[in-house]
Amino acid sequence: MATIKFLFEENGLETKVIENVEAGFTIQEVTEDNDIHLNHNCGCVCACSTCHVYVEKGGDSLEEISDKEEDFIDRASNPRIESRLACQCIILNQDAEIEVTIPDQSGIIGHEH
């Protein structure tokens, strides 16, 4: 089973490690199932950039980025080379060890889980 370590840019939030994650789920689904705050205005269909995250490690264990996802990442706040949309990050490898930084969500107006 995969392991995802969540780091947070927002002050006061502690690192959270989620173990026993099954392949086939998205990082967005993992946040929802584990009470981790990450906005998602479009309902996880790759039509906005509110679920923008930074995949620091383990990106090779995720579904490859699409052209559509890249277009929406360009609209995200502070995009970087490791930027992804959590709704599009399908975990492919059962033994994945993934590290994700969630940008500060306090300035994003939108749907919370």
Mean pLDDT calculated for residue range 33-62: 91
Residue 97 located in a structural domain:
yes
Six-digit token string for 44: 């996880």
Residue 52 located in a structural domain:
yes
Count of domains in the chain?
A: 1
Give the helix ranges, DSSP H, for the chain: 27-33, 67-73
Show contacts of 80-85: CB within 8 Å, 24+ apart. Answer: 80/54, 82/54, 82/55, 82/56, 83/52, 83/53, 83/54, 83/55, 84/27, 84/52, 84/53, 84/54, 84/55, 84/59, 85/46, 85/49, 85/51, 85/52, 85/53
Global pTM reads: 0.90
Residue 34 located in a structural domain:
yes
Residues 15-27 have pLDDT tens digits of: 999 999 999 999 9
Residue 65 located in a structural domain:
yes
> For the ranges 22-31, 44-53, 57-66, 79-88, which has the lowest average pLDDT?
44-53
CATH number at residue 72: 3.10.20.30
